[in-house]
Amino acid sequence: MAKSIVIVEDDEDQRTNYIDAISKKGYTVRGFASRDDALRGFDIALPDLVILDIILGDEVDAGFELCRDLLGRAPSLPVIFLTERIAEIDKISGLRLGAWDYLPKPISLDYLSEKISSLLRIHEARNQAQQGVSDAKLVGDMSIDQEALLVSWKDQPINLSGTEFRMLAKLVRVPGHAVSYDTLMNATMQSLVTNNTINTHMRNIRKKFEAIDPDFKCIKSEYGFGYRWSSQ
């Protein structure tokens, strides 16, 4: 059965172009122009992946509200922000909500299609891992599955975004060795990333580990250079 995609975009021409391009890749695609229309559509059926603009009509943060609602219903649902709002605070807000990626407009339709395909493969791998099919490796008390982008700490799962996972994977590649800001920026696979963005991601990752283990102290800051994973 074809995977289902929803696009929430208030610009009719852009919405139509996205729907046409993604449909040609074999997906079933629905498009909505407003937050209310999207919510009614989600009440009928949740898709396999959602693409959200942030500004919808007169609602400047409608995409953020939709993301919050969607992940409340389905915490593992892949959500992509596709927007002209590229300020760092907006990116941080979107990723903190749990979005899997944050893409700036304009965007190549081929790139968008490949991004969708990649995230759906990751989602499928995660589902398989949860069913016991896993290639995870152990780093101390942490289990990390590179294919499924799954992490657990002391046998308890940790829900990281795709960006957070890639940064953590770089950090634990050689435990004990410092990883530079530049390397961590490359791991985000995003443009216009600053040291402050990396620091915010690392704080979020720490908080997710600390929610399970208040004594977690494996992520160390290397002032002015980057971060290091240190065994507890």
- Domain 134-229 adopts which CATH fold? Arc Repressor Mutant, subunit A (1.10.10)
Per-residue DSSP letters for 9-66? -S-HHHHHHHHHHHHTTT-EEEEESSHHHHHHHHHH---SEEEE-S-BTTBTTHHHHH
Q: What is the pLDDT of residue 137?
A: 79
Residue with tokens 């892949």: 78
* SS3 assignment, position 208: helix
CB neighbour list of residue 50: distance below 8 Å, 6 or more residues apart: 5, 6, 7, 8, 66, 70, 77, 78, 79, 80
Task: Enter the CATH code of domain 4-126.
Answer: 3.40.50.2300
For residues 131 and 164, the model is more confident at 164
For strands 150-153 and 156-158, give the pairing: antiparallel
pLDDT class of 231 with cuts at 50, 70, 90: confident
Count of CA atoms in the C-beta half-sphere (13 A) of 133: 8
Distance separating alpha carbons of residues 72 and 86, to the nearest angstrom:
25
The tens digit of pLDDT for each residue in 79-138 reads 999 999 988 888 888 888 888 888 999 999 999 999 899 889 888 877 766 665 456 778
**Closest residue by Cα to residue 70 from 130, 8, 131, 27:** 8
| CATH 1.10.10.10 residue window(s) in the chain | 134-229
Is the link from the previous residue into 78 a cis peptide, with omega within 30 of 0? no
**pTM of the predicted structure, to 2 decimals:** 0.68
- Please report, rounded to a whole number, the percentage of residues in the chain having pLDDT higher than 90: 57
Tokens of 114: 């490949």
Distance separating alpha carbons of residues 174 and 150, to the nearest angstrom:
18
